[in-house]
Structure 1
Amino acid sequence: MTGVAIEQMLELWCVELRQVKADLQSLFAHPSVATSAAAFLDGVLGPERRKTGWMRAEAAGDPGPWRQQAVLGRSHWDADALRDMVRDYALETLASPGAVLVIDETGFLKQGQNSCGVGRQYTGSAGKIASCQIGVFAAYVSDKGCAFIDRQLYLPKDWTNKPERRTAAQVPDSLRFVTKPEIAAEMIARALAAGVPFDWVAADTIYGVGAIEMQLRRAGKGYVLGAHATDQFYSWIDKPEVAGTAEQITKALPSETWRRLSAGDGTKGARLYDWAYVELADLEAEEYNQDLTGLWTRGLLIRRTLADEDLAFFSTWCPAGTPIDTLVRVEGQRWAIEDAFETAKTELGLTHNETRSWHGWHRHVSLVMLAFAMMAVVRERANTLTSPQKRSDEAKLQRWCDGLSRKSAAWPHASSNTASSPPS
């Protein structure tokens, strides 16, 4: 973030938070519930490390957590309407050409058997099988920032097939069992229907090769989707002959195929890997959608770590002529959602949900998504401002440069090595 005067930053926060709270009011039939939802936002944005109901209530000056619990529980309001509001609010500031829709999941560790969707299942958050809930998320990532724009709790068959558990957790009667890739496909469909401006989709292997590929081809969207080493790939239509699993194809690649590229900046600098890209076929977009035109390339992208040469594979679809650098950039945007999960969990209480119901989970998560989106909006707007100190420094530098130019014109034979340093 660029240097911004503290007065400007405080004003940005105050104005944005007031506007967000005002927009929230339209979702609630009763003003008291809107007030409690606004207090929820204050709580998750506050300095408390634990964002529990008691902590949020204390921050709001309430004698107990009942108002906070009512927002997530017995009050009548639509969490999906809030989800859509968060999406539209984030896009007003973050929408940008070349944006990537990133699909990923995260775990919510839970004890007991009564929280909706809880069960022993693998979560990458813990790196093991644990008692947890799994939430599938869609994040919008552009050069202006990142925000969550969709979410859904994954329900294992142990939940969808047991009426007594569904009833106790207030699971909607219409909800059937859906896999995580099916949830992702629904999120992509919602984004397309809402006119979300994105050019690419990036996702991990669980959401990769399959129906989502065809969905995105029909929509005219590029993708970089994780693939397994055992997935089969074939070339055709005037491309060099390639056939076999992703791992077999990789082993046969000549050394000159590999390029060292950065997948983006991390906490320790550029995330450097060796990359290879194999074009498999050039196809007409109208084969998948008669309203689309142009030549698109089906391909296989391979990433190799520098330390241990561990491999990762990605199925790709992009306009013909797209350079490997662009595909690497798209794949690298998946780190943005990982960073977002960490921030939302550690700073905004994403996993501090104390409700057990289906609608309680979605209400809690959607309110946290709103807080996270507001942070992203404030950050981007701050980046467009210039602090008085920075403007002063830039003016001094410009005066020095102008003076140097005049000096050079007056003494054309002066050595550049004798020039003085810029003022501090």
Structure 2
Amino acid sequence: MTPLASPLAPAPAAPGAMPPRRPPLSVAPEDGSPAGVRPHPEAERTAPGDADGFDARLEAALEALSARIGPLFARPEPRAQAVRYVRALLGGVGAGNSWRLAHRVGDGSPWRMQRLLTRARWEVDAFQDAVRGQVLEHLGHPDGVLTLGQVDTVKRGDKSVAVARQYAIAARRVENCQTTLLACYTSPLGTAVLDRELYLPPAWTEDALRCHQAGVPADRTVHRPRTELAQRLVERARAARTPFAWVSGDLTRGQDPELRDWLERRAVGYVLPVSTGHPVRAVGGVALPAGVLARGAAGHGVPDAVAPSWEWSAVPLGATGSGGRGGFVRLLLTRRHPGSGRTGHYLAYAPRHTALPVLAAVARGGRDTLRAAPRACESVQFTRTEVLTWTAWYRHTALALAALGVYAVAGAAHGKVPQ
């Protein structure tokens, strides 16, 4: 998603008016392949330029969300304000400022928006479950992919919760920033950002007064590494019966052996990127020769089904006994452009006899989803917030994910793919 050209409309919209239509969570990859998992041929897609139909489905999705979250609020007023908040986020109003959000939906002052994030009575975890349920009703598919990534938001000052000087992946340097781990869901029916966790760096967990002032719960004041947060995202997806066949992710998740081992113990297949210098071990802990990545990139491979100028090859790393009949195998995948010599490497854990084009599609889809997700989050003010406390951050991001979920539902295929 990309923000609207004007971050703040010159005049407030009529209360209850739908925001302008915006593009879905997708990006055109550098090699010309479509973002995410390729649509199933039997899925009926929305006709290009069907603005009126899309707006009607957007309104219907928002009404369905309102009905879902109704029982989660003690009073109807905060429930209605939550729906208005989601409408405002869909409108692309610039920085996540309560005044701007109020202006977008015609509120005369920001106090209702602020109260929704701080003092109103509602359970954010149950709200997030309701949003996930709505998304999965329309996008859920057995071939789904859960993609783990990270967004680092540069901030000024040090008052906002979890802001500290730490390494920012996108900037490739230490910044004063806030780090969020994301779980995105991609299926043949669409893509959505499904869940998030806020990373609390040691500079915060070692300062009890600072955590208390920001309202950090007592059970989160102990430092939890990014690996544990990523595991939480996967566990919540599994607990919610999210249908997915694979886990993909960014380079940081791919080069985390603890996360890979954790997934293997639960028989969860993955296709995760690694750098050329990353140590590779076969089943049983035997280290492969130092040149295995170079040899994996050499020779002829299988042409990419979407970008034929690229080739894929695989080096077996051994079989394991988990995963039921036939077990799982570990593979080193190499993506190579014969003309330029550029390569990319992935470690895969897959059911035996999984076809190489399937693994290539998972790797490609995960990469494209991670490229699109930060812009999608920014378009609904997920990261550009001006909230200081733990509770306000989790409530705001839950509402932002609801906005992304409503958009994904409206843009999904009209009918379910036969399963």
* TM-score in terms of structure 1 length: 0.80
| One of 347, 355, 369 as aligned partner of 1:323 | 355
The Cα shift of 1:148 comes to 1.6
The answer on 1:340 being equivalent to 2:366 is: no
The residue type equivalent to 2:373 in the other structure is A
Q: Which residue of 2 aligns with 1:21?
A: 66
**Cα separation, partners in 2 of 1:197 and 1:272, compared to 1, 3 Å:** farther
Question: Which structure has more strand as a fraction of its residues?
Answer: 1
The Cα shift of 1:308 comes to 5.3
Alpha-carbon deviations, 1:271-324, whole Å to 9, x = none?
9534321011123226xxxxx332321111123356753443221111111122
Within a 5 Å distance, the mapping from 1:23-172 to structure 2 comes to 23-172=68-217
Q: Which residue of 2 aligns with 1:230?
A: 277
**In structure 2, what is the Cα distance between the partners aligned to 1:25 and 1:307?**
57
The answer on 1:283 being equivalent to 2:320 is: yes
Unaligned 5+ residue runs, structure 2? 1-45
The answer on 1:372 being equivalent to 2:404 is: yes
Q: Which residue of 2 aligns with 1:204?
A: 250
Alpha-carbon deviations, 1:95-151, whole Å to 9, x = none?
112111100010122110111110112223444322110100111111111112211
The Cα shift of 1:382 comes to 5.2
Q: Which residue of 2 aligns with 1:256?
A: 299
The Cα shift of 1:5 comes to 4.8
**Larger radius of gyration, structure 1 or 2?**
1
Unaligned 5+ residue runs, structure 1? 265-269, 287-291, 385-424
The residue type equivalent to 1:352 in the other structure is R
Q: Which residue of 1 aligns with 2:5?
A: none
Alpha-carbon deviations, 1:306-355, whole Å to 9, x = none?
6753443221111111122111111112221331321221x212222111
Q: Which residue of 1 aligns with 2:233?
A: 187
| One of 219, 237, 257 as aligned partner of 2:266 | 219
SS in 2 for 1:183: helix
**In structure 2, what is the Cα distance between the partners aligned to 1:74 and 1:147?**
29
**Cα separation, partners in 2 of 1:234 and 1:350, compared to 1, 3 Å:** closer
Q: Which residue of 1 aligns with 2:334?
A: 302
Alpha-carbon deviations, 1:202-241, whole Å to 9, x = none?
112322342322332233221112224333334469xxx9
**In structure 2, what is the Cα distance between the partners aligned to 1:306 and 1:369?**
40
SS in 2 for 1:122: strand
Alpha-carbon deviations, 1:346-401, whole Å to 9, x = none?
x21222211111111111111111110111111114588xxxxxxxxxxxxxxxxx
The Cα shift of 1:46 comes to 1.6
Q: Which residue of 1 aligns with 2:39?
A: none
Q: Which residue of 1 aligns with 2:21?
A: none
The residue type equivalent to 1:273 in the other structure is W
**In structure 1, what is the Cα distance between the partners aligned to 2:250 and 2:122?**
33
SS in 1 for 2:218: coil
**In structure 2, what is the Cα distance between the partners aligned to 1:149 and 1:253?**
34
**Cα separation, partners in 2 of 1:337 and 1:81, compared to 1, 3 Å:** farther
* TM-score in terms of structure 2 length: 0.81
SS in 1 for 2:93: coil
2:89–2:403 Cα contact (<8 Å) kept: yes
**Cα separation, partners in 2 of 1:76 and 1:338, compared to 1, 3 Å:** farther
| One of 349, 355, 374 as aligned partner of 2:381 | 349
Instruction: Give me the identity figure in percent.
Output: 28
Question: Which structure has more helix as a fraction of its residues?
Answer: 1
2:271–2:363 Cα contact (<8 Å) kept: yes
What do you get for the CA RMSD once the two structures are aligned?
2.4
